[in-house]
Amino acid sequence: MAKTSVLTPQAEDFPRWYQDVVAKAELAENGPARGTMVIRPYGWALWEGMQSEVDQRIKAAGAQNAYFPLFIPESYLNKEADHVEGFSPELAVVTHGGGKELEEPLVVRPTSETVINAYFSKWLQSYRDLPLLINQWANVVRWELRPRLFLRTTEFLWQEGHTCHASEQDARDYALRILHEVYEDFMVSVLGVPVLTGLKTENERFAGADQTWTCEAMMGDGKALQMGTSHLLGQNFAKVFETQFLTETGDREYAWQTSWGVSTRMVGGLIMTHGDDAGLRIPPKLAPIQVVVLVVRDEDGAGDKAAALAKQLQAAGVRVELDNRDGQFGRRAVEWELKGVPLRLEVGPRDIAGGTATLVRRDKGEKESTPLDGLPTRIPEMLDEIQKALHRQAQQRQEKRTVDAATVDEAIEGARTGFARIKWDPSGDLEKRLNQESVSVRCLRRPDGSVPLTTDEDDLVAVVARAY
């Protein structure tokens, strides 16, 4: 693997390595207000790719996109006691506008269950309107005391889905459909990130929900990152906002609801799952640039040949960038390595003379000479190989750094380097002891690895870890 001193080595200081990658790969910078961030074009391209893939899956699940206000009357949040209690420490509240004190303070959107229910109660009339499936892409604000770019910021970007159903079973089925068919499928097949799906404990579930299901991923340092969640809200919000419908028998009933979301935190998860000491490693399905054709020296027709090759690859459906800039070749190569472009094709005078190009796979860092003829056919196959290799490496790390624990002490020790599995104790003693050591229950799973429906099921296994 090619190494560079541009970044702090992961083994030396993983958090510092992460900060170096975000800055030097030109993904994002801190905004002028504490906890905000400026997402730079390359970072935005990653988010755009994620957004596009997730949006396609959401629409395939039947939801439609809409938009709801950024400012929410404070009284809306006060209607649901658990919800306001859970979010109160994180709220940003506007008390003045237009030079005057507002009659009612406005909360800057932390999530939209309340305001969306205010409109669901208008739109939902009868069982014929169900299921009502709405999603929005938006920004939200949660006052963050310890910000870290992409992972925890005061303002971040996300999608939040909100739905109404005729029965609890329909709502639960849809929440789990989103968990598996939208989130898990995207994270595994596009991000190349293996995730554990499971049920959150009562202490960890979303404020105001009956149940919360989660996708948990292991980062390169063994810590867990919550990549996305899907919630069964029951009838909690429906009752306080009078979100009712007329049944087929003529009765009025409260809707059963879900909400679910993923955010720009996934960019951080991508970095920390696949990155190495040379920088990013982006899975080809997501990569804004899948192949960079790099001119070593524009002599003896190398520049023209590189440009022709780039056009051929583009015609074959490959996202390609031609780098024929002036400047030191080595520095440009390191830049593309840092940005994690899956494949690099280096074309110089020697290559042209031999009818070849030098090919560098980012996942391996090894160079090989390859014939120019046939590259437009070979490259898509190689990109597929890289996609699978990145997922396989992350999966192997997760398996290697996951242990089965018979005692709480063993679980705490296992969480120093990765995940630990331990029999769930619903009394609360296990969770309390873990939390004292900065270890948390990331999710509950059945012994066969499937997702439980409630925390009351017998023989559940707790997956515990230190987390971001």
343-376 residue pLDDT tens: 999 998 988 888 999 999 999 988 999 998 889 9
Taking alpha carbons only, the member of 222, 218, 272 closest to residue 415 is 222
Q: Which residues contact 32 (CB under 8 A, 6 or more apart)?
A: none
pLDDT on residue 89: 86
pLDDT on residue 122: 97
Q: Are 404 and 421 in contact (CB under 8 A)?
A: yes
Q: How confident is the model at residue 209 (pLDDT cuts 50, 70, 90)?
A: very high
Here the tokens at position 347 are: 């074309």
Here the tokens at position 9 are: 């080595």
pLDDT on residue 301: 85
Q: Which tens digit of pLDDT belongs to each residue from 38-77? A: 999 999 999 999 999 999 999 999 999 999 999 999 999 8
Q: Are 112 and 160 in contact (CB under 8 A)?
A: yes
Q: Which tens digit of pLDDT belongs to each residue from 257-281? A: 999 999 999 999 999 999 999 999 9
**Summary mean pLDDT of the chain:** 95
Cα 147 to Cα 35: distance, rounded to the nearest angstrom: 5
Q: Are 109 and 70 in contact (CB under 8 A)?
A: yes
Question: What size, in residues, is the chain?
Answer: 468
- Segment 322-342 shows an average pLDDT of 94
Is residue 207 predicted with pLDDT exceeding 80? yes
Q: Which domains does the chain have, with CATH numbers?
A: 14-274 (3.30.930.10), 291-382 (3.40.50.800), 403-465 (3.30.110)
Cα 316 to Cα 380: distance, rounded to the nearest angstrom: 8
Beta bridge partners of 371: 356
pLDDT on residue 370: 92
Give 426-457 as a DSSP string. TTSHHHHHHHHTT-EEEEEE-TTSPPPSSTTS
Cα 445 to Cα 451: distance, rounded to the nearest angstrom: 5
Q: How far is CA 96 from CA 33, 91, 107, 111, 135, in A?
A: 19, 16, 12, 21, 30
pLDDT on residue 116: 97
User: Beta-carbon neighbour count of residue 223 at 10 Å?
Assistant: 18
Cα 186 to Cα 193: distance, rounded to the nearest angstrom: 9
pLDDT on residue 2: 43
Taking alpha carbons only, the member of 273, 385, 254, 276 closest to residue 7 is 276
Q: Which residues contact 435 (CB under 8 A, 6 or more apart)?
A: none
DSSP 279: B
Q: Are 156 and 264 in contact (CB under 8 A)?
A: yes
Is residue 130 predicted with pLDDT exceeding 90? yes
Over pLDDT 90: what percentage of the chain? 91
Is residue 228 predicted with pLDDT exceeding 50? yes
Is residue 1 predicted with pLDDT exceeding 70? no
Q: Which tens digit of pLDDT belongs to each residue from 100-110? A: 999 999 999 99
pLDDT on residue 5: 56
Taking alpha carbons only, the member of 199, 224, 203, 225 closest to residue 212 is 199
Here the tokens at position 355 are: 């009818």
- Segment 165-184 shows an average pLDDT of 98
First to last CA, the chain: 28
Q: How far is CA 66 from CA 138, 162, 170, 458, in A?
A: 10, 10, 22, 40
Here the tokens at position 18 are: 């992460």
- Segment 241-254 shows an average pLDDT of 97
pLDDT on residue 448: 97
Cα 13 to Cα 17: distance, rounded to the nearest angstrom: 6
